[in-house]
Amino acid sequence: MIDSAPVSAAQAEADTRRWLERAVIGLNLCPFAKAVHVRGQVHYAVYLAGDESGLIDALLAEARALAASAASERDTTLLMAPNTLADFLDFNDFTGRAERRLARAGFDGVFQLASFHPRFQFGGTEADDITNATNRAPYPTLHLLREDSVSRAVDAFPEAEAIFGRNIETLEALGADGWAALDVGPGSAS
């Protein structure tokens, strides 16, 4: 559990929307996010249990629902798990298992799985390195992206491979105080 009191689905979604709008879109960390957000094509799902035992099943259910939906209605899904996997290394291990289960379920080449965590840390960085914020969200979050949509977005965006480097520069210029001023952590949308 991230905090001592369980986080509600409404709080997790509100905080995640705030993070998406202020950090991901506001800082242009993902140049593809604004269009799907504005068109209402981001589906928010919340797994509330205090342990991860059913989280892979919830992810598979979300993948099936996403596959059954038209991209024009639901292009991507954010599955937040606010009350479990507080330890980043545990979450990172879990994400690897989740990717394998998605592949075994037939979603390899259909979806990509991106992950975000409040304590995300790139290998070789210190925990307080601002560059880790590129993958920090208010809660442990699994992001299902349609491969077709990612391919179209990359084709439409010149030098898509430069996004990561640009994000690092943006966050280094922003600094820890600037990131804190965005107010995109747990409970920020209260």
Q: pLDDT digit string (tens) for 83-128?
A: 999 999 999 999 999 999 999 999 999 999 999 999 999 999 999 9
Q: 90, 134 in Cβ contact below 8 A? A: no
**Band (155; pLDDT cuts 50, 70, 90):** confident
User: Residue 46 in contact with residue 82, Cβ under 8 Å?
Assistant: yes
The answer to whether the CB of 31 falls within 8 A of the CB of 157 is yes
What would the two tokens of residue 46 be? 């919340």
The CA distance from 114 to 135, in Å, is: 9
Residue found by looking up tokens 């593809």 in the block: 32
Going by their DSSP bridges, the two strands 141-146 and 76-80 should be labelled as antiparallel
What is the structure's pLDDT at 82?
Answer: 98
pLDDT at 55 over 80: yes
The single-letter DSSP state of residue 44 is E
Contact 44, 13 (CB under 8 A): yes
CB 119 within 8 A of CB 127: yes
Read off the pLDDT of each residue in 12-25 and give the average, rounded to a whole number: 98
Mean pLDDT score across all residues of the chain = 94
Phi, psi of 159 (to 5 degrees): 60, 50
Higher pLDDT, 32 or 157: 32
Quick check: 51 pLDDT over 80? yes
pLDDT of residue 3: 45
Query: Given the DSSP bridges, would you call strands 42-46 and 111-116 parallel, antiparallel or unpaired?
Result: unpaired
